[in-house]
Amino acid sequence: MPAPPVERKLAAIFAADIAGYSRLMARDEVGTLGRLKACRVIIDELIASHRGRIFNTAGDRVVADFASAVDAVQCAVAIQAAIMTENAGGLISAPPKRQKRSQDISGGRLRRGRRQPRDRPFGRKDHHGLGARPGLAAQL
């Protein structure tokens, strides 16, 4: 009995995700999810209009296949242009920049936004480079 013929399909795979998604989620989960939904509407429509098929999504990731590499590249360029246009128009706004603040435990108090003076003993580095009190965070 002859073996059945192998069916082959030539496809271009498109994969996209949002740069810094975990950092954005940590900073502003609700806002990031709103921006993700707005981006997904754009991405889904453009993939369909370029004859692509979404076959996997997870979190911020979209994976689609195209019968043509040209369609996949044109779709990717169109997605980038559309999202840049939406960003410029304010419809998909970037998260607000937050002021970087340092925190340290000092004498039982939580101190925000101020560095420890260099002459204090717990501001020194010890032999392993983690500071003089590396286990304090684990104890809290």
CATH superfamily for 12-89 is Nucleotide cyclase, GGDEF domain (3.30.70.1230)
Query: Domain locations in the chain?
Result: 12-89, 103-139
> What does the pLDDT look like over 74-114, one tens digit per residue?
999 999 999 989 887 765 655 555 544 444 444 444 444 55
106-109: list long-range contacts, CB under 8 Å, 24+ apart: none
The pLDDT of 24-40, averaged and rounded, is 91
Contact 64, 52 (CB under 8 A): yes
Q: Give the global pTM.
A: 0.61
Q: Tell me the C-alpha to C-alpha distance, in Å, between residue 11 and each of 36, 50, 51.
A: 27, 14, 12
Contact 136, 122 (CB under 8 A): no
CA-based nearest residue to 114, from 128, 98, 102: 102
CA-based nearest residue to 105, from 65, 71, 139, 75: 139
**What local confidence, expressed as pLDDT, does residue 127 receive?**
44
Structure tokens at 88: 């410029």
